[in-house]
Amino acid sequence: MIGRSTPVRVTLLALGAWLAVTLVSRIGFGIVSPVEVVFEGVTRFLGVPWVFNLIHAAPWDFDRYVKFIAFGVIVLAWLIVMWWVTRRLWIWRSAWGTFATLAAVVVIPLLLLGLGVLPLMGLGVFGTATLNRAWPPVPLFSASVAALLAWSSLVLMWPDRAARTDVSRRAWFNVMSRTVLGLALGASALSRAFIARAQALQGALFDAVRGISPAITPLGGHYVVSKNFVSPRVREGQWRLEIAGLVDTPLTLDLDALRALPSVTRPTTLMCVSNQVGGDLIGTYEWTGVRLADLLELTGIRHGASEIVLYGADNYTDSFPLDVGLRDGTIVAYLHNGESLTRDHGFPARVLVPGIYGMKNVKWVERIELAEDDHIGYWQARGWSDEAIIKTLSRIDMDQATRISEGRWAIGGVAFAGIRGIRSVEISIDGGDSWQDAVLEDARGPYAWSRWTAVLDEPTLLQGVIVMVRATDGTGDVQTEIVAPPLPDGASGYHRRLVTPSA
């Protein structure tokens, strides 16, 4: 027989076991937790209202704490319901009967969540669409259930065990701790195995589809757009970078001094504002340079500064807000793909600003000035956007599909939404009446484009088919289908392409 206090103990300890497995797996092994999957689904389902934007904008990773607290409250409420149901059924008198009841009231809600709620939110079965991988959330969900049930059954069986043995409370606690740690390690190992396999299959698929842009664009494919008829020739030994304006201590650096400072290397996609829908004035490169925030920390920022103005060696000027310049991804770059910048791409240094079009990523930069007022740059004076925030785009890279198996063909391309990231890509072969999810490759970084591929059946392709593509950014906003030219703030609309089978 089991005492009447057992339901309370089981409820609290089961909650602790569940959260322990989740926390150990997430913090120790980087496995995305069910908490985050559900939180993302809720924010997407609700359209990401201002309260969620406020949470995500808070410092110190505040959104993570909100996720765990909110979901912990939900789980606690769920366990209270479970406790109430089991008490009403009077099954607490039997340990194994209680275990069976716990299994029913835990597994059924999880199945409803994984097979019903999450797919309706657009996150796929057990949240698989969120990660764009085949199975990783499933073992973690399963491990969470196992932790809850195992802990509960051990607690329920404890009175009988304690009556038969002389086990101390410390030994009991050790058993409980090892159970949780073992389940967390097992869940993490299983999840990592699934992730590795999914990534291997994903890589093989993208390698097999001919014509998709490489994840990192070769330097020979770097687009060139400039106001200059001939690019300026800046000599390395004579170049200086001056940081002045509303700063406490003006700073002047030569190239050796810039290279001597702590540097970062990040894949970042650069795109011209004049790029047409489906155009090729875009590419992703490995940029190396010094964070602009680090340079401004050396100079200090005076009160009233709100704008960063850039001056190039070709008399080109542009600007962006101070908070944009302080972002982690904004750098003064001196290498791309591990090599010195070429003359056409800004040697010896240029400013790279993720999230805004290339016209504000000033080449041949010689002066960075902090100012109080907005600055009207070269292209803004000619009618182009001052904010220049990158619009969500998606592109089909080939007009011939690659055969990947009997009767199945694949196409692919890239999608990009600046610093917002890409959540999903879809294609349509009926003019937008219906949409099919594409497989999305993990981006090389938060500032890089995402590659995608989609499978078409052979009968669809025999006579050729017009394929249309659209992307959803990381905030849940779907790419606009409204057609707009590049002037003044970037082109928009869905890319369409006639696709036929390859020979």
Structure tokens at 313: 């060696």
Dist. CA 188–CA 384, nearest whole Å: 50
Average pLDDT, the chain: 78
Could you give the count of Cα atoms lying within 13 Å of 46 in the half-sphere of its Cβ?
A: 12
Asked whether the bond before 488 is cis by omega within 30 degrees of 0, the reply is yes
Could you give the count of Cα atoms lying within 13 Å of 368 in the half-sphere of its Cβ?
A: 33
Structure tokens at 221: 């494919």
| Mean pLDDT, rounded, for 268-273 | 96
DSSP 74: H
pLDDT tens-place string over residues 72-90: 676 667 667 766 665 565 4
Dist. CA 317–CA 251, nearest whole Å: 19
Query: Quick one: pLDDT at residue 403?
Result: 86
Domain 393-501: CATH class, spelled out: mainly beta
pLDDT value at 38 more than 50? yes
Cβ-proximal residues to 181 (8 Å cutoff; 6+ apart), any chain: 24
| Residue found under tokens 């389940």 | 183
| Mean pLDDT, rounded, for 195-221 | 76
Dist. CA 357–CA 83, nearest whole Å: 56
Query: Quick one: pLDDT at residue 455?
Result: 85
Query: Quick one: pLDDT at residue 85?
Result: 64
Give the lowest-confidence range in 131-135, 205-209, 290-294, 298-302: 131-135
Query: Quick one: pLDDT at residue 119?
Result: 73
pLDDT tens-place string over residues 180-194: 566 556 656 665 665
pLDDT tens-place string over residues 340-354: 999 999 999 999 999
Q: Is 17 helix (H, G, I), strand (E, B) or coil?
A: helix
State the DSSP string of 325-392.
HTSTT-EEEEEETTEEPPGGGTTT-EEE-TTB-GGGS-SSEEEEEEESS----TTGGGT--SS-BPPP
Query: Quick one: pLDDT at residue 249?
Result: 96
pLDDT tens-place string over residues 358-416: 999 999 999 999 999 999 999 998 899 999 999 999 999 999 998 887 778 899 999 99
Dist. CA 168–CA 434, nearest whole Å: 63
pLDDT tens-place string over residues 293-317: 999 999 999 999 999 999 999 989 9
Which of 31-40, 79-88, 166-175, 432-441 tops mean pLDDT?
432-441
CB 82 within 8 A of CB 149: no
Confidence of residue 489 (pLDDT cuts 50, 70, 90): very high
Give the lowest-confidence range in 33-42, 47-56, 401-410: 47-56
Query: Quick one: pLDDT at residue 56?
Result: 43
DSSP 442: P
**Domain boundaries for CATH 2.60.40.650 within the chain:** 393-501
Dist. CA 226–CA 262, nearest whole Å: 30
Return the higher-pLDDT residue of 416 and 25. 416
Query: For the chain, what is the radius of gyration of the CA atoms?
Result: 28
pLDDT value at 140 more than 90? no
| Mean pLDDT, rounded, for 110-117 | 72
Q: Report which of 501, 499, 279 is spatially closest to residue 399, judged by C-alpha positions.
A: 499
Query: Quick one: pLDDT at residue 172?
Result: 52
Dist. CA 336–CA 266, nearest whole Å: 10
b/e 368-402 (16+ beta carbons within 10 angstroms → b): bbbbeeebebbbbeeebbbebebbbbbbbbbebbb
Q: Is 57 helix (H, G, I), strand (E, B) or coil?
A: helix
Alpha carbon 409 to its chain centroid, in Å, reads 28
| Mean pLDDT, rounded, for 128-149 | 51
State the DSSP string of 96-144.
HHHHHHHHHHHHHHHHHIIIIIHHHTTS-GGGHHHHTSSSTHHHHHHHH
SS (H, E, C) 147-161: HHHHHHHHHHHHHHH
- Consecutive H or E run containing 202: helix 169-208
| Mean pLDDT, rounded, for 283-300 | 96
**Domain boundaries for CATH 3.90.420.10 within the chain:** 219-382
Query: Quick one: pLDDT at residue 61?
Result: 44
CA angle in degrees (0–180, nearest 5) for 31-36-41: 135
Confidence of residue 1 (pLDDT cuts 50, 70, 90): very low
> For the chain, how many residues are written?
503
CATH number of this structure's domain 219-382? 3.90.420.10
Confidence of residue 209 (pLDDT cuts 50, 70, 90): confident
Query: Quick one: pLDDT at residue 139?
Result: 46
Q: Report which of 178, 174, 189 is spatially closest to residue 143, judged by C-alpha positions.
A: 189
Distances from the Cα of 274 to the Cαs of 266, 315, 388, 478, in angstroms? 24, 21, 11, 21
Distances from the Cα of 372 to the Cαs of 3, 245, 318, 386, in angstroms? 71, 9, 14, 16
- Please tell me the pTM assigned to this model: 0.66
Dist. CA 32–CA 25, nearest whole Å: 8
Residue 234, Cβ density class (10 Å: 0-12 exposed, 13-18 middle, ≥19 buried):
buried
Q: What sign does the dihedral 98-99-101-105 (CA atoms) show?
A: positive
Q: Residue 403 phi/psi, 5° resolution? A: -75, 125
Query: Quick one: pLDDT at residue 135?
Result: 42
- Pairing type for strands 495-501 and 465-473 reads antiparallel
Q: Report which of 286, 313, 342, 167 is spatially closest to residue 232, judged by C-alpha positions.
A: 313
% residues pLDDT > 70 (the chain)? 60
